[in-house]
Structure 1
């Protein structure tokens, strides 16, 4: 279903023609920049009382010059839809974002109608899950926060309500952890790749069994004494509520799982929400956590190849002294020390030029065109060259980075289980 209307910007009083595609999300906040003056405008669609629907407006209002005919080319035209990327250009009757998405899937499926239909159903299933999660976002955030609190029994009780299963009465750390990761698995599965997470969860115990137990416990002891492992888990958990806040712009990025990941697709389309300022800091923080998660990857890699978590392969004629020295390396240098690595990193998560530009405030965003411009070597007297990407391309990188952080969070989970079930019991003897 679609609604067509002409809206007037309250700042410049210019008109824009909008075709609004309906999602199944109960409240649908659509945001865009006025194409005439770049003011931020919002249209919120409420389908709480479907089949009736209602609109509220922020910074704009329905134009007094509404037409009962098809849009002409007098005004700038915008398609708006939460669930799919939208194309720019002139108004074309019938070429709605919904139908264009189906056409894109047919192309991605090489014309196989059944395959394209299955892909669309897959995306719809994830969107339905996101719609449900959006209604419970506040509860999920509070539940994650409860895990860190003193009242562990309350955490178990509220988690059982969320999961719809009997309450686990145990307050042992391994059982609290099991509940926590059940909550995360259910709440965030639309954003993640389940098969990858499952593979890591199943392979980590086998991997650790192949490591000398004394050397592995030395590694665990180092992570425990320094507080590194628990601190890293806490930092990961702090990201998940922020992903819930980014749910709207990530919807279109999820669609690219099905249609492909080409630069042409990402630059030719836009998303119907605006929140780059919050998204850029989220990406920067996720990459910072990834940099620290690599310390775990490196320690395990050293144990597997050389039997000592501090033992690195000689690189460029020199040998890194220990894992502490590795932890102080900049992210771009950390990769080269992961020789024949047991974990396959998704390097698409690491746009280091973008990350550095964000960290040094060398990023600009043009809302009308949805273009991110960043200067990797900015901040100097002699400015470096600018690089650009679309907002959709940026949200795709953000999604991939979150998935990589989430996957490596399973490594943290496995190490914590080893600590609780084996290391702590041995230390208490």
Structure 2
């Protein structure tokens, strides 16, 4: 279902033809920049009383006779849909975002049945997001309770939320089990469960094979210094932020289903919020990921050289300790992860975008949704810009978050090593 209307900007009085595609959410907030003056225009659809739809407007108003076809093309045209990328261009009858997405899935699949299955999978994830989006505040409260002192209250709230008896135990391993059950249940739309399960099995196998004094010392050190606990808390903050970004992440989730998708190749838009709202989220994700690599490096050194401080020789030199590794920049850290046990997708970690944001060397065109970033910015002489679309940027956030989530399970496994191995009375007495 779609609604057509012409909107008049409250700032410049310019007219824009809009086609609103319906999602399966009750409240559907859209925002976009006026093509004439770039002022923000917001429209919220309320579908709680079907077949009627209630519209609320901010920064714009509907013109008289707004429900029509836009055959004359006299005004700029904007396609809007929460769940799919929306393309630039002229209004074409029938080329709705949903129909374009369905055609794209069929065209990039081996059969129509496969394309239909992909669309059904996308809709399933959207239904999950819709269900949990109304409970975002409750989700954030439960995550915050984990870091507090009242573990009994935390576990009770998780049990109530999951509608599942988690037992009375307040042992740290059982508290952590409740946490990760909760996170897996809530954030399932954002990651691939099979990939996570395989990774957890792989980490468990590695730690069991490495069990012994070098690994014991490493785990004790990162726990005694508070590094592992602080890293876990910083991971948890990102989970809350991701649910706050679930609306612009919906089209990015759709891109999971496109075979051969390439960043900066699809001129498509997102129908809600803008770059300024989420630029710091990507920077924060990359910062946490960079610190997670310290754990990856320690395990990698144990696997290859039996010592967390034994790094490979690079260009005739080497690092003397894991502490020295922690002082390196993210881009430098990668080269010390030789034949790494954890397969890092380097394409999803764009240090140039991250550094440009961190140093405010970035600009955003609200109308075209093009982000220009300047990796060599800050100099007197002008420096060349690179470009990505806001949709690509949200895709980067999604995939980087998956890396964070994967390595958060490494944090979990190292805590379990402490609880179940290092604190095992029988092992202590040996």
Aligned residues of 2:263 and 2:392 also touching (Cα < 8 A): no
Identify the residue that residue 225 of structure 2 maps to in structure 1.
226
Identify the residue that residue 102 of structure 2 maps to in structure 1.
102
Identify the residue that residue 269 of structure 1 maps to in structure 2.
268
Normalising by structure 2, what TM-score? 0.97
Tell me: CA distance 1:264–1:174, structure 2 relative to 1, closer, same or farther (3 Å): closer
Identify the residue that residue 365 of structure 2 maps to in structure 1.
366
Identify the residue that residue 83 of structure 1 maps to in structure 2.
83
Encode CA deviations 1:168-222: one digit per residue, 9 max, x unaligned: 3211111110000011001111011112111111111111111141111011011
Identify the residue that residue 192 of structure 1 maps to in structure 2.
191
Identify the residue that residue 134 of structure 1 maps to in structure 2.
133
Encode CA deviations 1:83-117: one digit per residue, 9 max, x unaligned: 0001111111111111111000001104x111111
Alpha-carbon distance, 1:265 to partner: 7.4
Aligned residues of 2:4 and 2:68 also touching (Cα < 8 A): no
Tell me: CA distance 1:252–1:266, structure 2 relative to 1, closer, same or farther (3 Å): farther
Q: Please give the residue correspondences for 1:8-157 in structure 2 after superposition, counting only pairs within 5 Å.
A: 8-66=8-66, 68-110=68-110, 112-157=111-156
Aligned residues of 2:4 and 2:69 also touching (Cα < 8 A): no
Alpha-carbon distance, 1:14 to partner: 1.1
Distance of 2:265 and 2:43 partners within structure 1: 24
Encode CA deviations 1:138-185: one digit per residue, 9 max, x unaligned: 111111011111211111111011111114321111111000001100
Distance of 2:239 and 2:263 partners within structure 1: 30
Partner of 1:295: helix, strand, or coil?
A: helix
Distance of 1:72 and 1:142 partners within structure 2: 51
Aligned residues of 2:274 and 2:366 also touching (Cα < 8 A): no
Distance of 1:56 and 1:67 partners within structure 2: 15
Distance of 1:49 and 1:154 partners within structure 2: 37
Aligned residues of 2:218 and 2:308 also touching (Cα < 8 A): yes
Tell me: CA distance 1:195–1:102, structure 2 relative to 1, closer, same or farther (3 Å): same
Between 66-75 and 55-64, the greater mean CA deviation after superposition: 66-75
Alpha-carbon distance, 1:276 to partner: 1.1
Partner of 1:263: helix, strand, or coil?
A: coil
Over aligned residue pairs, what C-alpha RMSD do you find? 1.5
Alpha-carbon distance, 1:267 to partner: 3.0
Identify the residue that residue 412 of structure 2 maps to in structure 1.
413
Tell me: CA distance 1:134–1:261, structure 2 relative to 1, closer, same or farther (3 Å): farther
Report the count of equivalent residues.
428
Q: Which runs of 5+ in 2 are unaligned?
A: none
Alpha-carbon distance, 1:261 to partner: 4.9
Distance of 2:174 and 2:422 partners within structure 1: 16
Aligned residues of 2:264 and 2:388 also touching (Cα < 8 A): no
Partner of 2:364: helix, strand, or coil?
A: strand
Encode CA deviations 1:285-324: one digit per residue, 9 max, x unaligned: 1001111010000000011111111111111111210100
Aligned residues of 1:266 and 1:392 also touching (Cα < 8 A): no
Aligned residues of 1:348 and 1:397 also touching (Cα < 8 A): no
Identify the residue that residue 214 of structure 2 maps to in structure 1.
215
Alpha-carbon distance, 1:68 to partner: 4.2
Encode CA deviations 1:40-78: one digit per residue, 9 max, x unaligned: 111111112233321111111111353645442111111
Aligned residues of 2:28 and 2:82 also touching (Cα < 8 A): yes
